[in-house]
């Protein structure tokens, strides 16, 4: 019998005792004189006691919640340091809202992260829509984890100044591996929004210097560097195991976030094929892009099962991009709408901002239908993000990124980059050939591109 089963067994035993005691307390009363309201009270009392009993957790659940070993929790229970903990048979029952006591010296003990991932917000810690603050409060026993989680949620909301301050804290404090890694990656993300090249390279240096105790740590740090580079569309440094999609040797709690970045890696490959930047034998045009949803859809289903909210948002938006580029607007809209419904309750505008440039106005249109004020916030944040991203990406990759194109001009430029002719583009957009030619001419005037082969470089 496992710990959970034992807890249930104890609960049932305790309920029987409650029933017996309630029966004894009413023993002096005649069964004939029992009034209906007394019976109702006993039933209500029973249900109330049931709710109280079922709000206990096992030692294993407590160890996972607090980020300590099972043995440590057992020792604290035996020492009477966990308030409300009770021993039943061979196990301990711990109140669900019990807190981990600090050390006897009054200092906060050094504690590992509750999940082995630099992205706590992308784990099952954040497993309920609209409950980000409540999930942060559950980490109160691990201050460093709480700060990192809050900083990551702040980034998802587009609160860049707050993120910068928190990132500095982790990099200046004597933090653990995942905290330093998380802080460095937050710093790199801030650099993107600000277009700060020096901050970008500083963040990468912090990852190079992160203290690795094992080969696994070194692989995670290597992946972190590749993820940072991929955010400006440079995917050449991904490890071979990652390119194959072989994640089984990585900590299971990091899988949801790794899948998100893996999908982005696949998307960049599909985009490169479509825009003729990458040649694959027997493959051309949007063929790879149209196949992407067949890989992403099962991941979305798994994210819903795992209750990992932020990975689900990212996966749905990435899948919607693939559908959008492939001409399947219906399925694109379905995923966009679902992603919006997941993001807005906690104000996760920053995630939506990262995808605006891919949808040629469609994402903003769908947000506006849901919440006009949210769309205004996303639009304002996007102005900041797009300028910063273009500046940083252009500087690091030594190329010009156009930020002055309208949604229609960007859409046409993308179709030109994918190799479609003027006639094909006019048919796809339901406009005349002359209109397409005029738009192309405006793009040339704004960006200075010399021919169609250069259109992919400015996007």
User: Domains in the chain: how many in total?
Assistant: 3
Q: Within this chain, do residues 334 and 423 fall inside the same structural domain, yes or no?
A: no
> Are 26 and 38 within 8 A, CB to CB?
yes
In a domain, 113, yes or no: no
Please tell me the predicted confidence (pLDDT) of residue 73. Answer: 86
Q: Which of 397, 416, 448 is the last residue of a domain?
A: 397
Is pLDDT larger for residue 106 or for residue 268?
268
Choose among 193, 197, 117: nearest CA to 157: 193
Per-residue pLDDT at 2 exceeds 60: no
Q: Within this chain, do residues 144 and 244 fall inside the same structural domain, yes or no?
A: yes
In a domain, 82, yes or no: yes
**CA angle at residue 74 from 73 to 80, to 5 degrees?**
90
Q: Which of 351, 368, 397 is the last residue of a domain?
A: 397
Question: For the domain that residue 366 is a member of, what is the CATH number?
Answer: 1.25.40.10
Q: Within this chain, do residues 131 and 235 fall inside the same structural domain, yes or no?
A: yes
Give me 240's structure tokens.
Answer: 């071979």
Query: Average pLDDT over the chain, rounded to whole?
Result: 81
Q: Within this chain, do residues 295 and 378 fall inside the same structural domain, yes or no?
A: yes
Q: Within this chain, do residues 372 and 271 fall inside the same structural domain, yes or no?
A: yes
Please tell me the predicted confidence (pLDDT) of residue 86. Answer: 85
In a domain, 156, yes or no: yes
In a domain, 294, yes or no: yes
Q: Within this chain, do residues 390 and 437 fall inside the same structural domain, yes or no?
A: no
| Residue 24: pLDDT band with limits 50, 70, 90 | very low
User: CA separation (Å) from 54 to 7, 51, 57, 78, 184?
Assistant: 9, 5, 8, 22, 41
Can you give the three-state secondary structure of the chain, one letter per residue?
Answer: CCHHHHHHHHHHHHHHHHHHHHHHHCCCCCHHHCCHHHHHHHHHHHHHHHHHHCCEECHHHHHHHHCCCHHHHHHHHHCCCCCCCEEECCEEEEECCCCCCCCCCCCCCCCCCCCCCCCHHHCCCCCCCCCHHHHHHCCCCCHHHHHHHHHHHHHHHCCHHHHHHHHHHHHHCCCCHHHHHHHHHHHHHHHHHHCCHHHHHHHHHHHHCCCCCCHHHHHHHHHHHHHHHHCCCCCCCCCHHHHCCCCCCCCHHHHHHHHHHHHHHHHHHHHHHHCCCCCECCECCCHHHHHHHHHHHHHHHHHHHHCCHHHHHHHHHHHHHHHHHCCCHHHHHHHHHHHHHHHHHHCCHHHHHHHHHHCCCHHHHHHHHHCHHHHHHHHHHHHHHHHHHHHHHHHHHCCCCCCCCCHHHHHHHHHHHCCCCHHHHHHHHCCCHHHHHHHHHHHHHHHCCCCHHHHHHHC
- Whole-angstrom distance, CA of residue 227 vs CA of residue 181: 12
- The pair phi, psi for residue 26, each rounded to 5°, is -110, 10
Q: Within this chain, do residues 311 and 164 fall inside the same structural domain, yes or no?
A: yes
Question: For the domain that residue 442 is a member of, what is the CATH number?
Answer: 1.10.10.10
Average pLDDT over residues 266-275: 88
Q: Within this chain, do residues 172 and 259 fall inside the same structural domain, yes or no?
A: yes
In a domain, 109, yes or no: no
Average pLDDT over residues 251-276: 91
Q: Within this chain, do residues 274 and 335 fall inside the same structural domain, yes or no?
A: yes
Please tell me the predicted confidence (pLDDT) of residue 434. Answer: 82
In a domain, 159, yes or no: yes
> Are 105 and 139 within 8 A, CB to CB?
no
Q: What is the pLDDT of residues 202-235, one digit of tens each?
A: 998 888 888 888 888 888 888 888 888 888 777 7
Per-residue pLDDT at 61 exceeds 70: yes
Q: What is the pLDDT of residues 281-310, one digit of tens each?
A: 777 788 899 999 999 999 999 999 999 999
Per-residue pLDDT at 345 exceeds 90: yes
In a domain, 108, yes or no: no
Choose among 6, 121, 128: nearest CA to 61: 6
| Residue 105: pLDDT band with limits 50, 70, 90 | very low
Instruction: Output the CA torsion sign for 423, 425, 430, 434.
Output: negative
Q: Which residues contact 346 (CB under 8 A, 6 or more apart)?
A: 129, 130, 131, 132, 153, 156, 157
User: CA separation (Å) from 5 to 16, 54, 97, 134?
Assistant: 17, 12, 20, 28
Quote the domain boundaries for residue 62. 3-95
DSSP lists the bridge partners of residue 280 as 283
- Whole-angstrom distance, CA of residue 75 vs CA of residue 229: 45
Please tell me the predicted confidence (pLDDT) of residue 6. Answer: 54
Please tell me the predicted confidence (pLDDT) of residue 120. Answer: 93
Per-residue pLDDT at 21 exceeds 50: no
Please tell me the predicted confidence (pLDDT) of residue 382. Answer: 93
Instruction: Output the CA torsion sign for 210, 216, 220, 223.
Output: positive
Q: What is the pLDDT of residues 166-186, one digit of tens each?
A: 888 888 766 788 888 889 999
Q: What is the pLDDT of residues 109-154, one digit of tens each?
A: 446 788 888 899 999 999 999 999 999 999 988 888 899 999 999 9
Q: Which of 186-195, 343-352, 379-388, 404-413 has the lowest mean pLDDT?
A: 404-413
In a domain, 134, yes or no: yes
Choose among 91, 199, 355: nearest CA to 364: 355
Q: Within this chain, do residues 207 and 319 fall inside the same structural domain, yes or no?
A: yes
> Are 295 and 278 within 8 A, CB to CB?
no
Q: Within this chain, do residues 207 and 318 fall inside the same structural domain, yes or no?
A: yes
Buried b (16+ CB within 10 A) or exposed e, 56-73: bbbbebbbbbbbbeeebb
Please tell me the predicted confidence (pLDDT) of residue 31. Answer: 44
- Whole-angstrom distance, CA of residue 153 vs CA of residue 121: 7
Return the top range by mean pLDDT from 201-215, 236-250, 342-356: 342-356
As a whole number of Å, the end-to-end CA separation of the chain is: 59
Q: Which residues contact 415 (CB under 8 A, 6 or more apart)?
A: 424, 425, 428, 429
Q: Which of 397, 426, 444 is the last residue of a domain?
A: 397
Q: What is the pLDDT of residues 417-459, one digit of tens each?
A: 777 788 877 777 778 878 888 888 777 777 767 677 767 666 6
Give me 312's structure tokens.
Answer: 């689900």
Choose among 304, 259, 245, 299: nearest CA to 124: 304
Q: Within this chain, do residues 130 and 183 fall inside the same structural domain, yes or no?
A: yes
């Amino acid at each position: 019998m496992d710990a959970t089963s034992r807890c249930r067994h104890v609960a049932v035993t305790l309920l029987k005792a409650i029933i017996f005691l309630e029966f004894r307390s009413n023993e002096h009363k005649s069964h004939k004189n029992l009034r209906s309201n007394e019976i109702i009270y006993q039933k209500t009392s029973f249900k109330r006691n049931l709710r109280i009993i079922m709000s206990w957790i096992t030692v294993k659940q407590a160890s996972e919640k607090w980020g300590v070993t099972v043995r440590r929790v057992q020792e604290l229970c035996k020492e009477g340091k966990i308030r409300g903990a009770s021993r039943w048979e061979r196990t301990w029952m711990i109140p669900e809202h019990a807190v981990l006591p600090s050390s006897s010296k009054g200092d906060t003990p050094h504690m590992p992260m509750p999940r082995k991932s630099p992205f706590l917000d992308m784990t099952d810690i954040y497993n309920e829509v609209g409950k980000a603050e409540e999930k942060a409060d559950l980490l109160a026993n691990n201050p460093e984890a709480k700060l990192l989680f809050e900083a990551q949620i702040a980034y998802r909301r587009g609160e860049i100044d707050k993120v910068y301050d928190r990132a500095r804290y982790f990099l200046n404090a004597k933090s653990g591996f995942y905290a330093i890694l998380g802080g460095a990656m937050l710093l790199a993300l801030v650099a993107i929004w600000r277009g700060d090249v020096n901050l970008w390279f500083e963040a990468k240096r912090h990852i190079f210097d992160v203290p690795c105790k094992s080969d696994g740590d070194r692989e995670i740090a290597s992946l972190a560097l590749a993820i940072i580079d991929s955010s400006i569309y440079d995917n050449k440094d991904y490890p071979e195991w990652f390119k194959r999609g072989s994640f089984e040797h990585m900590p299971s709690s990091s899988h949801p976030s790794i899948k998100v970045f893996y999908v982005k890696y696949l998307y960049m490959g599909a985009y490169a094929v479509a825009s003729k930047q990458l040649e694959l034998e027997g493959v051309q045009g949007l063929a790879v892009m149209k196949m992407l949803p067949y890989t992403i859809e099962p991941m979305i289903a798994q994210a819903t099962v795992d209750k990992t909210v932020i990975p689900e948002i990212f996966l749905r938006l990435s899948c919607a991009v693939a559908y959008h580029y492939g001409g399947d607007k219906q399925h694109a809209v379905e995923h966009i709408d679902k992603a919006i419904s997941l993001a807005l309750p906690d104000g996760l505008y920053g995630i939506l901002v990262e995808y605006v440039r891919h949808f040629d106005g469609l994402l903003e249109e769908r947000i506006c239908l849901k919440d006009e004020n949210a769309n205004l916030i996303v639009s304002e944040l996007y102005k900041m993000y797009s300028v910063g991203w273009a500046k940083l990406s252009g500087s690091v990759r030594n190329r010009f990124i156009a930020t002055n194109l309208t949604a229609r001009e960007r859409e046409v430029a993308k179709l030109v980059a994918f190799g479609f002719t003027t006639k094909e583009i006019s048919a796809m957009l339901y406009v005349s050939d002359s209109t397409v030619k005029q738009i192309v001419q405006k793009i040339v005037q704004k960006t200075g591109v010399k021919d169609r082969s250069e259109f992919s470089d400015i996007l």
